[in-house]
Amino acid sequence: MSIRATARVSAVRGEGGATLLPVLESAGPLALRRTRAPGAGAKVTVVGAMSAPLGGDRLAIEAEVGAGARLAVDSAAATIALPGRDADRATYDVRLTVGEDAELSWLPEQLISAYGSDLRMRTRIDLAPTARLVYREEQILGRHGETPGTLTTRLTVHRAGRPLLDQELSYGPGAPGGWDGGAVLAGHRAVGQLLLVDPAFEEKKPEARMLSETAVLAPLAGPAVLVTAVAADALLLRRLLDGVLRDEAG
């Protein structure tokens, strides 16, 4: 039987500047736990309560960061997309809203597309003009020694009501031809990106540059930069993206 579940978290700035979590609502396989955070911000860890998403599952997570609040979200383990008992596609929707002078760090573990799975993941982010965002996503195409499932991801970001980024990527069986060719993955099985949005970039934005033979940093049309990378495995990909975080996000 497929699962339909939506987990929710809301962060607000309390008296004295501390971030409070008036809403922390787990659902289905998405268990939300408040964990220790430095300073006045709050941190939430997503803990997988069961294997998911399976074919046919409809999962979603929503996070809202109110004005002046600071929230960091990570996960306890990788998310593994697995085939279900039937051929239905699974969906996983992420909806993030960040208010004025608020900050969100969204740093989950990898999404692994296992053989035979079919997952569509959609992320929608809405940012106020003075919001700050650190957003990372990593996809691992297949477990060790196996071919990947079908994976389609779409990331849509609006800032001050205007589009900042809108892209869709597809991999695996059923994806448009050439996804594994030399112009796209070239045989690599780990792919990821890091999006940094900061009003400070209005004054000085990092310049476009190659970070390695398989990674590039590109400024966007707004106070934001996007790092896109592929690597042979998850460890190499994480090392690369973590290096950018240290250099660019402090």
Taking only the tens place, the pLDDT of each residue in 1-50 is: 788 999 999 999 998 899 999 999 999 999 999 999 888 899 999 998 66
Q: What is the pLDDT of residue 50?
A: 66
- Domain assignment of residue 26, yes or no: no
Percentage of residues in the chain with pLDDT exceeding 90? 74
pLDDT at 244: 87
Q: Confirm whether 29 is domain-assigned.
A: no
Q: What's residue 250's pLDDT? A: 57
27 domain residue, yes or no: no
Mean pLDDT, the chain, rounded, equals 92
Render pLDDT for 184-236 as a digit per residue (tens, 0 to 9): 788 889 999 999 999 999 988 889 999 988 999 999 999 999 999 999 999 99
Residue 9 lies in a domain: no
Distance CA 247, CA 195 (A): 14
Q: Which residues of 63-101 are buried (b: 16+ CB within 10 A; e: fewer)?
A: bbbbebbbbbbebeeebbbbbbeeeebbbbbbbbbbbeb
Q: Which one is predicted more confidently, 176 or 64?
A: 64
> Which tens digits make up the pLDDT trace of 134-186?
999 999 999 888 889 999 999 999 999 999 999 999 998 877 777 887 767 88
The parent domain of residue 239 ranges over 36-248
Q: Residue 163's beta-bridge partner residues? A: 158
What is d(CA 212, CA 228) in angstroms, rounded to the nearest whole number?
A: 11
Look at residue 196 in the predicted model and tell me its pLDDT.
97
Q: Does any domain span residue 82? A: yes
Examine residue 85 and state whether it is found in any structural domain, yes or no: yes
Structural tokens at position 132: 């700050």
- pLDDT tens, 66-82? 999 999 999 999 999 99
22 located within any domain: no
Residue 49 pLDDT? 64
What pLDDT shows up at residue 84?
Answer: 79
Q: Are 192 and 136 in contact, with CB atoms under 8 Å apart?
A: yes
Flag whether 14 is in a domain: no
How many domains does the chain fold into?
1
Helices within the chain (DSSP H only): 234-248
At 195, which helix (H) or strand (E)?
strand 190-197
Q: Choose among 122, 128, 75: nearest CA to 103.
A: 128
In this prediction the pTM is: 0.95
- Is it the case that residue 248 has pLDDT exceeding 90? no
